[in-house]
A and B are shown apart, each in its own frame.
Chain A
Amino acid sequence: MSHAPFILAAYSIGAIVLFWCAVAPLVKKKAIARDIRRLIQIEDRSRDPNS
């Protein structure tokens, strides 16, 4: 049996898992930035309700 598909599968899974591990915090960072911008909007609006 050819070993190639096993080697390929092992490294692919490794790459996918580690890639996701590396990228996940960056995705979270975007969400946090969005949150903060919304927070700022809410605060601005409450400070000046006529705007």
Chain B
Amino acid sequence: MNAEPLGGSLSKAFFALLRRDLLLAFRRRTELLFPVIFLLVVVSLFPLGIGPGPQLLARIAPGVIWIAALLATVISLDALFRSDFEDGTLEQYVISGHPLTLIALAKIVSHWLVAGLPIVLLSPLLALWMNLPTESLGVMILTLALGTPILSLIGSIGVGLTISLKRGGQLLSLLVFPLYVPILIIATAAVMAVSDGLPYTQFLGLLVAGLITSVTLAPFAAAAALKISLS
């Protein structure tokens, strides 16, 4: 990064940052697994708390899987900017002259790859545990694939706002869960519609719209939040 002129093209900067974050995450490979294990543990707590009755599990499956996804995402969000904030790298990014929005977007993408994508990939196992009807599985995976990026995008705004606070992590959950409610409602409605035999594509459409909106707007908001936190 020292040899690179402060200018450099936007896409070069984006990919350089993405590569750096993924490399760093890969070096601490075991830590990559923490959100994954959290997801598995949380989902398995439900049958233990409610009983293994297959029909009951099947009815609550979409909600349980999505709530577990929300919790796992919030837990991993705090790590999004924290280490860079603590060692001053974040300030270096601000000074570097590259738009902070781009930097935020790169970080969000690496967060989704490390925290959101595993959720999507693990969902078949979770669906098995929760006895989700097989016809709903496809839509379940789809809602997670569309929804988890939205969670990363919106979550980054919350992280940006709380990054400089001592108890930032706890406050973050408070800030971000209300924002997540619409995604939870729409996603679970889609999956439940499939098993009830009702139309579900309108819900997927809403998720797509949400994704497009948050991709275009959230990085700006996250950048603004970071600037405030760093000031």
A–B direct contact (CB < 8 Å): no
